[in-house]
Structure 1
Amino acid sequence: MDVLRTARLRLRWFNEADAPFVRELLNEPAWIQHIYDAEVRTDAQAAQWIRERLVMRYWLLGFGFWAVERLSDGELLGLCGVIKRDGLDHPDIGYGFPARCWGHGYAREAAAGTFDYCRQVLGLREVMGTTGPENHASGRVLLAIGLEDEGVQQTAAHEGLSRVYRWRDTQPADDDAQIAALRWRWQAALQGPARAALTACVAPSTLEAVMNGRADLSPPAYDDLARRWAPLAEDVSIPAIRTPAGWRLQVPAP
């Protein structure tokens, strides 16, 4: 499923066919040094990691880490996106590319597209980024796209110290405006342009019912969910509720 495009790149959902690339990426020395060792050594383990660590989040959050492809030839270049980590107050942007893809500006371009998506499609008012204290290359990417350096800190999301970056929407929060924007994002997701963000509009209780016993996490299954909700696209009677993740719609489970 497509998520967004930039001048040179397409960001899309990962799928299990991407397992050989993911295995390679997770065993890159820079990934193990600056992120962590996922202990994924085979394609079968990589396929499981994709399903459990990536695809599940697409459904539960409406966002996640996406595959980065080059538009000109479809080559898979890396990973980029936004996730909500336990131990961080707000979603944070992350990315990883094998060393053979460094030096072409792909990380900055993908991260900039993700940052725009966070604000315009997901409606986030605060976005974070974290790096290792000495990972200055990744820090430069976060600074270049518009986040500010808040220094080295101990976060609950990491065992060691991290350098923390952050962007905040400086406009005063207005509940009515946020709810109106949420309903607009809900329509856009159901009508196609922002389909991948569909479940980011929905209350946790509804998602729990949707995910109960679900085995099919494919893009067609996600599209089918959108088709079943399509008649509700302009239903302003659907209540909006405040959740720890922001305003969400209390959509009836299909």
Structure 2
Amino acid sequence: MEVLRTARLRLRWFAEADAPQVLALLNDPGWIANIYDAEVRTEAQAVDWLKQRLLTRYWHLGYGFWAVERLEDGEFLGLCGVIKRDGLDHPDIGYGFLSRHWGQGYAREAAAATFAYCREVLGMHRVMGTTGPENLASGRVLLAIGLDDRGVQQTQAHEGLSRVFEWTDDHPVDAAADIAALRARWRDALTRADRLCTFSACVTPEVSARWVTGREDFSAAAYRALVQQHAALADDVGLRAVPTPLGWRLHLP
């Protein structure tokens, strides 16, 4: 399922069929040195990692880390996206690319588009990013797209120290405006093919947890079927908006 495009790139949901590419990425020396060693050594392990770390987040959050492909030839380059980690107060942008594709501006291009998506599509008011203290190249990407350097800190999301970056919306938070924007996003998710993937980002975590618990099929086709089941609620103003740690969300009965 496609999420967004840039001048050179396509960002889309991962699928189980991407296991070979994920296996290569997780064992790339650059990934292991700058991110972590996932200890994924087989395609079967890569499928499990995909399900647990990527696919379920699409269903839980309505966003996550997406596959990055070059539009010109469909070449897999790496991943980029935004997640909400335990231990960080706000969603954070992350990315990782195969070493052979470094130095061509792909990380900055994908991260900039993700940052715009966070603000303009998902309606986020605060966005974070973290890097290893010595990973200066990754830090330059976050600075270039508009995040501010908050210095080296110990976060609950990482064992060691991290350099933390953050962006905060300058406009005062207006609950009524946020709820109106949420209802507009809800309608778009149910009526526009290019916004369908944001469906889960409109509902409370309790609702999305019901959809994930016990599920084995996290395919895009299954997600589309779930969205279709709720199509009649696109303009239902009776759906209750409630505050959550992720912002205002609709609570479905």
TM-score with structure 2 length normalisation? Answer: 0.97
What is the CA–CA distance in structure 2 between the aligned matches of 1:212 and 1:16, rounded to whole Å?
Answer: 19
What is the CA–CA distance in structure 2 between the aligned matches of 1:126 and 1:22, rounded to whole Å?
Answer: 29
What is the CA–CA distance in structure 2 between the aligned matches of 1:16 and 1:208, rounded to whole Å?
Answer: 21
What is the CA–CA distance in structure 2 between the aligned matches of 1:236 and 1:91, rounded to whole Å?
Answer: 28
What is the CA–CA distance in structure 2 between the aligned matches of 1:111 and 1:9, rounded to whole Å?
Answer: 11
SS at 2:230 equivalent: helix
Name the aligned partner's letter for residue 83 of structure 2.
I
What is the CA–CA distance in structure 2 between the aligned matches of 1:137 and 1:111, rounded to whole Å?
Answer: 13
Please state if 1:194 is matched with 2:195: yes
Tell me what 1:218 maps to: 219
TM-score with structure 1 length normalisation? Answer: 0.97
Tell me what 1:57 maps to: 57
Tell me what 1:34 maps to: 34
Please state if 1:173 is matched with 2:166: no
Cα drift, residue 10 of structure 1: 0.6
Cα drift, residue 120 of structure 1: 1.1
Structure 2 unaligned runs (5+)? Answer: none
* 8 A Cα contact 2:59 2:211, kept in partner: no
* 8 A Cα contact 2:63 2:201, kept in partner: yes
What is the CA–CA distance in structure 2 between the aligned matches of 1:205 and 1:244, rounded to whole Å?
Answer: 12
Cα drift, residue 211 of structure 1: 2.4
SS at 1:193 equivalent: helix
**Following TM superposition, where does structure 1 have runs of at least 4 consecutive aligned residues deviating by more than 6 angstroms?**
none
Within a 5 Å distance, the mapping from 1:67-146 to structure 2 comes to 67-146=67-146
Structure 1 unaligned runs (5+)? Answer: none
Tell me what 1:47 maps to: 47
Cα drift, residue 213 of structure 1: 2.5
Q: How many residue pairs were aligned?
A: 252
What is the CA–CA distance in structure 1 between the aligned matches of 2:244 and 2:203, rounded to whole Å?
Answer: 10
Tell me how large the CA RMSD over aligned residues is. 0.9
Cα drift, residue 205 of structure 1: 2.2
Name the aligned partner's letter for residue 211 of structure 1.
V
Cα drift, residue 209 of structure 1: 2.4
Tell me what 2:208 maps to: 207
More off after superposition, 212-221 vs 161-170 = 212-221
Deviations 1:113-168 (A, max 9, x none): 10011111111110000001110100010011000001111111111111000000
SS at 2:50 equivalent: helix
Question: Structure 1 vs Structure 2: percent identity of aligned residues?
Answer: 66
